[in-house]
Amino acid sequence: MTVVPSDAETLVLLIPLAAAAVLALLPGYRVTAWLNMLASLLTLAVVVALFIQPRPAPSHYLLIDDVNIVFILLNSFVGFTTSVFSASYIGHELHTGRLTPVYLRFYHAMYQVLMFAMNLALVSNNIGLMWVAIEIATLTTVLMVGIYRTHQAIEAAWKYFILGSVGIALALFGTILVYKAAQPVVGEGLDGMVWTVLMANVAHFDAATLNVAFIFLLLGYGTKVGLVPLHAWLPDAHSEGPTPISAVLSGLLLNVALFAVLRFKLLLAANPQAIMPGPLMVILGLTSVLFASLMLYRRRDIKRLFAYSSIEHMGIITFAFGMGGALANFAALLHMTMHSLTKSAIFFAVGHVSQVKGTQKIADIRGLTETHPVLGWGLVLGVFAIAGLPPLGIFTSEFLVVTSTFAREPLLAVALVVGLVVALGGLLLQLNGVAFGPPSAGTARSEASYLPLFAHLALVCAAGVYLPPALVAWFQHVAGRLG
């Protein structure tokens, strides 16, 4: 590669931003859908280059380290595959008139702005900048959720906006408190917000201020992760927006918010006098798993069903990161990767399903495997994976989470297993009607692009059977860095 490292870092941000500007101006569906894909692919290529190169030295604003590169890589990969899915999905939406060409332009521009904001949040070395990036990501997704302009969509967007903004405001207050704690030690000015500087000096910070700051940050960013009891926006936002956005929300944005929580968890863990951040995360995570798994049973809307499943899985990941230690962190990283791939694959399938059936109501989607074998079996495979059935990837990571917990806190592990089993039952019960049984109306041929769906599922299947040693070593290394 000819790019020097610092350039690659900024390119990850510049490509989506430039693409957003171009896409906002260009008319026409085919060209813009292609450009959207191309921009996402370019970003992915730069990220891969960034991954291979030696890490550049951190600046006051940007930082590439071993931890965030995993998130960035996952982010750009799913961002690219979703843009491929989005091209075929959006074509259908235009055809049926749910989206007008003007809104399509807006949609594509927002898609790239969202990618920019998420990448910025991940590469930022500055807690203020990270906050700004997550705020931008929130605002763009709010606009995307409301894009169909139906009554329900606007209501969902409004709810998301209000809850998301309150969360963001609380997170800002926490950020200010962190600066307040840092200021007597590192001095006034920019240094007090630079994460690497904070990490180096955190042992001398005032512990009481840090504790209160973490509570605000956990509640604030936790709202964006969708942790119970702060999850109320999540099912609505998933079910009313365009399906590619549901895929990006579930697969990526929740991870980005969790990454913010993780950054501050590391900060607190490095201060001996501060509270342990782990148990708080464990409690929130476990509550989310138990609550969401029960909620799976009575869902009537297929996208809401999988939104609750996302809450459950974010709960598992938060739980595992909260437990901490090399093995639990490894399991959490693996689970996060698997969940992102599987959940976005499921939303790809669900998007096409709801298009051919013309509805999102579970009761009206019956016998998919008969009418649309490829799509139906793809969905079946995805749900099997997300429910944690062996030998698929999520089984491996859930198994690791449970066993690492059993070794240290058996009672917590029992509670977690109850949640997992309840969720398994709920998902399979719902799947049974959707995939099998007498088919319902809506036999139109689906003009779907199956590539993203099956690429994700193939990766998840492969990971369940065989994890390449290089990947394992890499994740172990990162897990060690996570404390």
Partner 1 sequence: MDKIVFDIAHLLAGSILLVSFMMLYQDRLSALLNLFALHAVLLALSVAWQAHVHAAPHLYVTAMIALFFKALFIPLALHRIVVRLNIHRQIETVVGVGLTMMLGMGLAALAMLLMVRITPDSDLLGREDLGFALATVMLGLLLMVTRRNAVSQVIGFMSLENGTILAATGAKGMPMVVEISVAFSILIAFIVIGVFLFRIRERFDTVDLQALDQFRGEQG
User: Cα(413)–Cα(419) distance, rounded to whole angstroms?
Assistant: 10
- Give the residue among 248, 227, 209 at the shortest CA–CA distance from 111: 248
Shortest distance, position 185 Cβ to partner 1, whole Å = 10
- Dihedrals phi, psi of 328, to nearest 5 degrees: -65, -40
320 within 8 A of 328, measured Cβ to Cβ:
yes
Quickly count: other Cβ atoms within 10 Å of residue 475's Cβ.
Answer: 19
Give whichever of 165 and 476 is closer to partner 1, judged by the CB atom.
165
Give whichever of 7 and 206 is closer to partner 1, judged by the CB atom.
206
Q: Which residues bind partner 1 (CB under 8 A)?
A: 126, 128-129, 131-132, 135-136, 139, 142-143, 146, 149, 151, 154, 157-158, 161-162, 165-166, 169-170, 172-173, 175-177, 179-181, 183-184, 187-190, 192-193, 206, 208-209, 211-212
- Dihedrals phi, psi of 432, to nearest 5 degrees: -55, -50
What single string gives the DSSP state of each residue in 307-331?
Answer: HHHHHHHHHHHHHHHHH-SHHHHHH
Give whichever of 136 and 461 is closer to partner 1, judged by the CB atom.
136
User: Cα(269)–Cα(174) distance, rounded to whole angstroms?
Assistant: 16
87 within 8 A of 111, measured Cβ to Cβ:
no
Give whichever of 164 and 464 is closer to partner 1, judged by the CB atom.
164
User: Cα(427)–Cα(386) distance, rounded to whole angstroms?
Assistant: 9
Residue with the two structure tokens 């921009």? 39
Shortest distance, position 136 Cβ to partner 1, whole Å = 8
Distance from chain centroid for Cα 178: 25
Give whichever of 179 and 475 is closer to partner 1, judged by the CB atom.
179
Give whichever of 19 and 210 is closer to partner 1, judged by the CB atom.
210
Shortest distance, position 257 Cβ to partner 1, whole Å = 16
User: Cα(114)–Cα(138) distance, rounded to whole angstroms?
Assistant: 8
User: Cα(414)–Cα(408) distance, rounded to whole angstroms?
Assistant: 12
Residue with the two structure tokens 């917590």? 412
Give whichever of 169 and 458 is closer to partner 1, judged by the CB atom.
169
Shortest distance, position 216 Cβ to partner 1, whole Å = 9
What's at 449, amino acid-wise?
S
Shortest distance, position 377 Cβ to partner 1, whole Å = 40
Shortest distance, position 117 Cβ to partner 1, whole Å = 11
Give whichever of 141 and 340 is closer to partner 1, judged by the CB atom.
141
Structure tokens at 206: 């005032």
Shortest distance, position 203 Cβ to partner 1, whole Å = 15
Shortest distance, position 226 Cβ to partner 1, whole Å = 20
Give whichever of 97 and 189 is closer to partner 1, judged by the CB atom.
189
Shortest distance, position 135 Cβ to partner 1, whole Å = 5
What single string gives the DSSP state of each residue in 385-442?
Answer: HHHT-TTSHHHHHHHHHHHHHHHH-HHHHHHHHHHHHHHHHHHHHHHHHHHSSS--S-
Query: How many Å is the Cα radius of gyration of the chain?
Result: 21
Give whichever of 146 and 324 is closer to partner 1, judged by the CB atom.
146
Shortest distance, position 176 Cβ to partner 1, whole Å = 5
